[in-house]
Structure 1
Amino acid sequence: MKLPGHGRFDYVPITARQPFCWPDGKRLAVYFGVNLEHFAFGEGLGAELAPGGPQPDVLNYAWRDYGNRVGAWRLLAQLEALELPATVLANSAMCDYAPELMAAFQARGDEVAGHGRTNSERQSELCEDDERRLIAEVTETIRTATGTAPEGWLSPWIAESATTPDLLAEAGYAYSLNWCMDDQPVWMRVRSGRLLSIPYPQEANDIPAIIARKAGAGAFADMIIDNFDEMLAQSAEQSLVMGVALHPYIVGQPYRLRQLRRALEHIARHRDEIWITRARDISRLCHTTLSDQIA
């Protein structure tokens, strides 16, 4: 029996791929995905600190808003202190809601990638024409606010329709972070050619770890450190990508930030052995120098 498939890429075991290196012969690329998200008040989706009651759900809305008002600024300062670049995964609504925060990350040279309009909605619920319009709206909003169109995309709630990769490529996007099936970039088939899938973590990610599985602040920091140490050892055999996904309303809480700092410092101490980068830079290298070496 042949099961239904997506047809976007073939099964190629990681042990049977062409060897390649990141810049300066390094084998492990590390990037930090900082999710800047804005939510509708009184309606729509959103992570919950506690089970939400009738709308307006002030408790959970305000908890999430802490990330933009406080947590993201504390996280930004920590990244700056350790000279760690970031890929900012921004709801386009952030450009109007917190332009100062967006500008602060941009001033550091951080990448801004598209992350839908708001995490109060899922783009997978839209028809193709509406989803195309959503992607165009997000792209133009970020381009107007930052001066540069985003090159990468992460869907809110990792929600895709059957045509999302096609629409992203047709809108000029070079890479997607939606698929978590690998530790290397993978080419995806789309209607207009190919789209790069860059690994985005669903394990070294504070929402699944802390909100879904209830990991403590120290356990989450240990998870990042153990994941990094193991991937650094594995990368002796072949080049890999490690992402760390961070949401300021979660890891920006003071007691969690203190533990996260320990993990960030651990990675920073290895900066001479690894390529600390942005997802955009991984994509650009794969589209040029490494175009024929990626599976």
Structure 2
Amino acid sequence: MDETGAGPLAGHDRYDYSAIVHRPGYAWPNGTRLAVYLGLNLEHFAFGEGLGAELAPAGPQPDVLNYAWRDYGNRVGAWRLLELFDRLALPCSLIVNAAVYDHCPELPAAFQARGDEIVGHGHSNAERQGALAEPEEAALIRRATDAIARHAGAPPQGWLGPWISQSHRTPDLLQEAGYSYLLDWCHDDQPVWMRTRVGRILSVPYPQELNDIPAIVARKMNADAFADMVIGNFDEMLEQQARGQALVMGVALHPYIVGQPYRLRQLRRALAHIAARRGDIWITTAGAIAAHAAALPAGTVPGDVPAGTATNPAD
């Protein structure tokens, strides 16, 4: 009990508190201390039912306006972003709904041909996995993983839940399904080990601030303001990494949003600013960040425990 007579607040027991200023220093593979990755979300939505981001308030189903606006991303926006990434020589982590392979398989194949990483993103962003019972959630993860593996040639190592949706057991289920890292938790600027019921899984920072859905759809930011936010965040983290801390900066993008021409022009400005400093940073993928962090000496990454240690995370 604290002095008010109340007990401790409910917790998750996935990781302990760790102040970033008190952690061991380390560097990324090229000797720099700021890793930057682009997380590009390829998503597919059911027509006439389910969830989906909205450009305008939804009308009765079928909600043609918002469905078609989202479909623009796969038909046009993602291809323009691919051209931009090629022009600036930027890799990306392609965060893929498995349903995309049914809808437009040539799109993820074009990114994979560049050498981009494929990250699991459930079946469709028309649904949330966190509301499912454990057997159904495990089955969804398995089906999505198997579908991606069939098309990509190997199962993904990383996962981002549709709508950042998790149940109390999602980290356990992902670790048991063979995933080495997840992106759902935006609680840090460094990778953090999370406890699971039969071991551990790495949390790699994925942004909810440098993310076009919260910024542009939810907060109604203009395209130039979003680009300025990306540039400002990058410049500040460049200064912060000079203190000897290895940091991660992700930029979360959705083709139906930043693939719109006027937003694409502003995004190009922000990414060119980052690319111009490539000698001072590590431009990479979320999976490469996870692999490097996992190979660091014991005790370097917050939450480090021996692999295979059984834990009992709280429900």
Q: Is TM (by shorter chain) over 0.5? A: yes
- The CA distance in 1 between the partners of 2:149 and 2:235, in whole Å, is 37
Of 219, 222, 229, the residue aligned with 1:223 is 229
- The CA distance in 2 between the partners of 1:31 and 1:49, in whole Å, is 26
Render the CA deviation track for 1:42-74: whole Å, top value 9, x for unaligned: 000000000001000000000000000000000
The yes-or-no answer on 1:84 pairing with 2:51 is no
SS in 1 for 2:228: helix
Of 262, 287, 292, the residue aligned with 2:294 is 287
CA shift for structure 1 position 96:
1.3
| Equivalent residues in 2 for 1:40-59, closer than 5 Å | 40-59=46-65
> Which one-letter code corresponds to 1:275 in the other structure?
W
CA shift for structure 1 position 148:
1.2
Partner of 2:251: 244
Partner of 1:128: 134
| Equivalent residues in 2 for 1:109-188, closer than 5 Å | 109-188=115-194
The yes-or-no answer on 1:103 pairing with 2:131 is no
222-231 vs 280-289, which deviates more?
280-289
Displaced runs of 4+ in structure 1, greater than 4 A? Answer: none
Does the CA contact (< 8 Å) of 1:151 and 1:175 recur in 2?
A: yes
The yes-or-no answer on 1:261 pairing with 2:271 is no
The yes-or-no answer on 1:35 pairing with 2:41 is yes
SS in 1 for 2:130: helix
Render the CA deviation track for 1:191-224: whole Å, top value 9, x for unaligned: 1111000000000000000000000000000000
Render the CA deviation track for 1:138-186: whole Å, top value 9, x for unaligned: 1100000010110000001101000000000000000010000000000
- The CA distance in 2 between the partners of 1:192 and 1:80, in whole Å, is 41
With structure 2 as the length reference, what TM-score do the two structures score? 0.93
> Which one-letter code corresponds to 1:272 in the other structure?
G
CA shift for structure 1 position 16:
0.9
- The CA distance in 1 between the partners of 2:227 and 2:157, in whole Å, is 29
- The CA distance in 2 between the partners of 1:190 and 1:154, in whole Å, is 17
Of 192, 195, 209, the residue aligned with 2:198 is 192
Does the CA contact (< 8 Å) of 1:20 and 1:290 recur in 2?
A: no
Q: List alignment gaps of at least 5 residues for structure 2.
A: 1-6, 303-315
CA shift for structure 1 position 291:
5.1
Partner of 2:3: none
CA shift for structure 1 position 228:
0.4
Q: List alignment gaps of at least 5 residues for structure 1.
A: none
- The CA distance in 2 between the partners of 1:141 and 1:290, in whole Å, is 35
- Residue identity over aligned pairs, in percent, reads 64
The yes-or-no answer on 1:4 pairing with 2:10 is yes
SS in 2 for 1:23: coil
| Equivalent residues in 2 for 1:270-285, closer than 5 Å | 270-285=277-292
Does the CA contact (< 8 Å) of 1:88 and 1:111 recur in 2?
A: yes
- The CA distance in 1 between the partners of 2:102 and 2:298, in whole Å, is 37
Render the CA deviation track for 1:70-107: whole Å, top value 9, x for unaligned: 00000010001100000000000011111110110000
Does the CA contact (< 8 Å) of 1:89 and 1:113 recur in 2?
A: yes
CA shift for structure 1 position 292:
3.5
- The CA distance in 1 between the partners of 2:286 and 2:297, in whole Å, is 15
- The CA distance in 2 between the partners of 1:292 and 1:40, in whole Å, is 45
Partner of 1:22: 28
- The CA distance in 1 between the partners of 2:92 and 2:138, in whole Å, is 27
CA shift for structure 1 position 290:
4.8
- The CA distance in 1 between the partners of 2:124 and 2:257, in whole Å, is 17
Q: Highest Rg: 1 or 2? A: 2
CA shift for structure 1 position 293:
1.0
Figure out how many residues of one structure are paired with residues of the other and give that number.
295
CA shift for structure 1 position 288:
1.6
